[in-house]
């Protein structure tokens, strides 16, 4: 039985990646000082004698820091140096054969790229699996399709009910490690036990600092109660309807007091009215799409909205989301019409693999496409059918799967953080008679996120538009959709905490 191992920051070595003038053992020691918890010696081109020498020196150094040593591929080398374990690829020696040759308690890992690979590794008795590739990598030729965190979640599902550990590998660095850990989760809540990193440490001029940049967020993730997002009861205090209504007014006041910058990449049909809605709520909009601007905007903006209704500037969307994640800013994703075409579905998958959404907002057809559910169909940007049989369960499950807040818009709006579910029954039929009312909800979501920074998830952002729509429709000067839109902008600007307390129709399900 293999002993308990800390897989959280798993370094895979590669001497070919060392910067000019950097020594291998010096880099390894700095990485160990920086927080690496497990080391795999990977030597693909050296001869056996050279691999033995590198492995022996690596073992001596790892022992000094109390860190286990794994040898890649070579069972003979692992035996010769007394390594703690061996990592096997899909074309290497079968796990049972390696187990018979190695001492009792030796760690054996297996590379897995498909659920079938994972199931076989479990049956063979592997102690852990290396799952990937998560993202593209320059360290080796990637033969299997890049799966992203969502794909890692599917691979983790094959480990349900087992004690086999799992690490993700390929393309992981200090800027995306939290997204990898947070976003890689199975439908039943199985999570990663660690991440394997190669070039972000081995190619770094300062491997000590590089390892520390990785170790700090990894330790914070595993120490946080929020990492159990997909399991058990909510880590937060239970919501009440009165709490939600009070939170709406408090966030609105914060928006108007601080006027946060809200970065929006939105479709060209609604750019002007989205900007006007942002201003009316008290925030400041910036509608920027160039990838070259995203590093600066990621630091300056209070929140990011990505609405790809007209599918333009995907490079800008990718860069914007990554920079928002790096700067810990909320990201609202509104995948308008995602179920309409293959291109839209592939684009949404690419974006959700590249960065972590804080809020995922859409109508029934859009969210069904994201969930790969046939329960509701899409026609263009609209939904077809009668909706979900159990919308409360749908939004709760989708929130847990994507580790974010879900906003399902419709006649009744449904909001869930994966634990609580709120049904919101405000709004007016005239919202459906104007172009972009759903997009305006996305704008309000991002604006309220910028004000609240999501300290406590709530449906405030949805209520802003729906309550304002009721107030606008009741005005004497509103005679149809043409007069409704400017009145709606007016009422967004006049909203008060008292309006929410008086008019918000909220039910906790």
Pairing of strands 284-286, 261-265: parallel
pLDDT computed for residue 491 by the predictor: 97
Residue 238 backbone dihedrals phi, psi, to 5 degrees: -60, 145
| Tens digits of pLDDT across the chain (509 residues) | 446 899 999 999 999 999 999 999 999 999 999 999 999 999 988 999 999 999 999 999 999 999 999 999 999 999 999 999 999 999 999 999 999 999 999 999 999 999 999 999 999 999 999 999 999 764 455 556 888 998 999 999 999 999 999 999 999 999 999 999 999 988 788 999 999 999 999 999 999 999 999 999 999 999 876 555 544 444 455 578 888 888 888 899 999 999 999 999 999 999 999 999 999 999 999 999 999 999 999 999 999 999 988 888 899 999 999 999 999 899 999 999 998 899 999 999 889 988 999 999 999 999 999 998 877 665 655 545 557 899 999 999 999 888 899 999 999 999 998 888 999 999 999 999 998 899 999 999 999 999 876 434 455 678 999 999 999 999 999 999 999 999 999 999 999 999 999 999 999 98
CB distance 270 to 334 below 8 Å: no
CB distance 322 to 173 below 8 Å: no
CB distance 168 to 146 below 8 Å: no
The residue ranges of DSSP E strands in 364-426, in sequence order, are 377-379, 382-384, 405-409, 413-416, 421-424
CB distance 150 to 360 below 8 Å: no
Question: What span, in angstroms and rounded, lies between the C-alpha atoms of 192 and 169?
Answer: 11
C-beta atoms surrounding 61 within 10 Å: 18
Closest alpha carbon to 325 in 337, 333, 334: 333
C-beta atoms surrounding 312 within 10 Å: 13
Closest alpha carbon to 462 in 492, 484, 435, 487: 492
Q: Does residue 448 sit in helix, strand or coil?
A: helix
pLDDT computed for residue 277 by the predictor: 96
- Peptide bond preceding 132: is omega within 30 degrees of 0, i.e. cis? no
Question: What span, in angstroms and rounded, lies between the C-alpha atoms of 433 and 422?
Answer: 25
Catalytic residues: 439
pLDDT computed for residue 233 by the predictor: 43
Question: What span, in angstroms and rounded, lies between the C-alpha atoms of 21 and 74?
Answer: 28
pLDDT computed for residue 454 by the predictor: 42
pLDDT computed for residue 453 by the predictor: 65
pLDDT computed for residue 378 by the predictor: 59
| Domains of the chain listed by start with CATH number | 9-228 (3.20.20.70), 241-508 (3.40.1190.20)
**Residue 483, CA distances (Å) to 56, 183, 279, 468 in order:** 78, 43, 19, 14
pLDDT computed for residue 452 by the predictor: 78
pLDDT computed for residue 461 by the predictor: 77
The residue ranges of DSSP E strands in 236-282, in sequence order, are 261-265
């Amino acid at each position: 039985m293999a002993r308990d191992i800390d897989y959280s920051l798993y370094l895979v070595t590669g001497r070919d990646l060392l910067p000019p003038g950097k020594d291998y053992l010096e880099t390894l020691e700095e990485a160990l000082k920086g927080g690496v918890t497990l080391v795999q010696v990977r030597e693909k081109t050296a001869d056996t004698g050279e691999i033995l020498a590198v492995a022996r020196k690596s073992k001596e150094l790892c022992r000094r820091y109390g860190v286990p040593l794994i040898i890649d591929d070579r069972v003979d080398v692992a035996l010769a140096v007394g390594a703690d374990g061996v990592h096997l690829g899909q074309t290497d020696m079968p796990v049972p054969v390696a187990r018979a040759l190695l001492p009792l308690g030796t760690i054996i890992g297996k590379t897995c790229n498909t659920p079938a690979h994972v199931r076989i590794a479990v049956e063979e008795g592997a102690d852990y699996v290396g799952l990937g590739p998560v993202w593209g990598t320059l360290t080796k030729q990637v033969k299997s399709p890049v799966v992203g965190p969502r794909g890692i979640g599917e691979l983790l599902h094959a480990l349900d009910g087992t004690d086999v550990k799992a690490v993700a590998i390929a393309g992981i660095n200090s800027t995306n490690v939290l997204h990898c850990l947070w976003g890689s989760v199975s439908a039943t809540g199985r999570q990663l036990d660690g991440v394997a990193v190669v070039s972000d440490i081995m190619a770094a001029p300062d491997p000590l600092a590089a390892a520390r940049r990785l170790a700090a967020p990894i330790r914070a993730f595993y120490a946080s109660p929020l990492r159990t997002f997909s399991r058990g009861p909510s880590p937060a205090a239970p919501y009440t309807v009165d709490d939600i209504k009070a939170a709406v007014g408090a966030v609105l006041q914060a928006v108007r007091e601080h006027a946060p910058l809200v970065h929006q990449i939105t479709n060209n049909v609604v750019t002007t009215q989205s900007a006007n809605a942002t201003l009316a709520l008290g925030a400041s909009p910036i509608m920027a799409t160039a990838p070259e601007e995203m590093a600066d905007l990621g630091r300056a903006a209070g929140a990011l909205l990505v609405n790809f209704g007209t599918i333009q500037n995907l490079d800008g969307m990718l860069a914007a989301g990554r920079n928002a994640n790096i700067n810990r800013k909320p990201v609202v994703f509104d995948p308008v019409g995602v179920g309409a075409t293959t291109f839209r579905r592939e684009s949404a998958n690419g974006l959700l693999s590249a960065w972590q959404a804080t809020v995922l907002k859409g109508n029934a057809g859009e969210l069904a496409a994201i969930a790969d559910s046939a329960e509701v169909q899409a026609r263009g940007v609209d939904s077809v059918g009668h909706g979900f049989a159990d919308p409360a369960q749908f939004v709760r499950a989708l929130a847990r799967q994507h580790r974010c807040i879900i906003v399902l818009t419709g006649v009744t709006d449904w909001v869930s953080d994966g634990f609580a579910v709120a049904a919101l029954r405000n709004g007016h039929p005239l919202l459906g008679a104007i172009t972009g009312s759903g997009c305006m909800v996305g704008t309000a979501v991002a604006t309220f996120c910028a004000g609240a920074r999501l300290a406590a998830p709530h449906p405030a952002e949805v209520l802003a538009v729906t309550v304002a729509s009721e107030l606008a429709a009741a005005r004497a000067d509103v005679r149809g959709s043409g007069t409704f839109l400017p009145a709606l902008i007016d009422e967004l600007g006049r909203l008060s905490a008292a309006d929410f307390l008086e008019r918000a129709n909220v039910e906790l399900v």
